[in-house]
Amino acid sequence: MNPSPLFVALADHGLIRVGGADAAGFLHNLLTNDIVHLPPDGARQAALCSAKGRMLASFLIWREGPDYLLLLSADILPGILKKLSMYVLRSKVKLTDISSERSLFGVMGATIGPAAPMTTAALQGGAAIRLDADRCVLALPAGATPQEIPPAGRLEDWHLAEIRAGQPRIVAATQEAFTPQMVNYEIAAVGGVSFHKGCYPGQEIVARTQYLGKVKRRMYRVKIESAFPPGADVFTPEAGNQHCGAVVLCAPSPEGDFESLLVVQSSGMAANAVHVGKPDGPLAQPLPLPYAVE
């Protein structure tokens, strides 16, 4: 837990509203998670995949009355909104970018909002979405600030919290770089995939990987001496000059170095021989995740 509550304006996030009589079924048929059975006060992680099972976007999803709100990285929002619009056809669905209508905050170390993970509660005309014991997202009316404490943290503080929670987020540089299993999306603690729902784009590949194959690349939390952007290549001696993974997220740590989530061959991580940026780049030193990775 943080020693004192920290509020961060999520300037690199955006919000899509999905409304209409067919909204739930529309999302259910497109995303990796069960949306039809999402409770009114529930929240869920989910991804939109390509036909090849590669993640185009990751979302935090919750309900607002009959509508569904999708929180995602702002740099991919316009393209994802256009992509989703292509699937509407005759469905009674309305898609709207409402980023300008909401003030988005990440909260760490505060008791604001609901107590149970992945639940929501009304707050100041908007919503508080509890992610875990230490993190909460606020989606308030535009211009509003949390009444409890004004925003005080840096965006990097929130990114570090994402990393330490082992929660991936797809940005423009990592679109189509990973299957859901590569970023641990199917692990219960992340909770981004349902294997008990119907088809969606890429579902056959995601299911085949789950039931018939072994996931050779996984997402790990590491410490590195330099900053690397999402999408930066990752190498192991086994793979030689051919990259075998990529950085998912990276943020400075209070100790003066950097922490990162990266995807790499599990054998390389087991051998403590993962380098970032180039084959002889900085060594990635393993750090624990809050959940077990096979």
What tens digit of pLDDT does each residue of 77-130 get? Answer: 999 999 999 999 999 999 999 999 999 999 999 888 999 999 999 999 999 999
- Structural tokens at position 86: 């292509």
Mean pLDDT of 192-199: 92
Q: Is the pLDDT of residue 282 over 90?
A: yes
Q: Is pLDDT above 70 for 54?
A: yes
Query: Contact at 8 Å (CB) between 228 and 274?
Result: no
Stated length of the chain: 294
Distance of CA 294 to the CA centre of its chain: 20
Supply 99's token pair.
Answer: 């980023």
Q: Mean pLDDT over all residues of the chain?
A: 94
| Percent over 90 (pLDDT), the chain | 87
CA separation, residue 13 to residues 66, 106, 137, 145 (Å): 23, 10, 11, 16
pLDDT score of 1 = 41
Domains and CATH numbers, the chain: 6-165 (3.30.1360.120), 216-294 (2.40.30.110)
pLDDT of residue 3: 54
Residue 2 predicted with pLDDT over 80: no
pTM over 0.85: yes
Looking at residue 145, its pLDDT comes to 84
The mean per-residue pLDDT over the stretch 52-71 comes to 97
| Other residues' Cβ atoms within 10 Å of the Cβ of residue 261 | 27
Cβ of 16: how many Cβ atoms within 10 Å?
Answer: 21
Distance in angstroms (rounded) separating the CA atoms of residues 284 and 267? 14
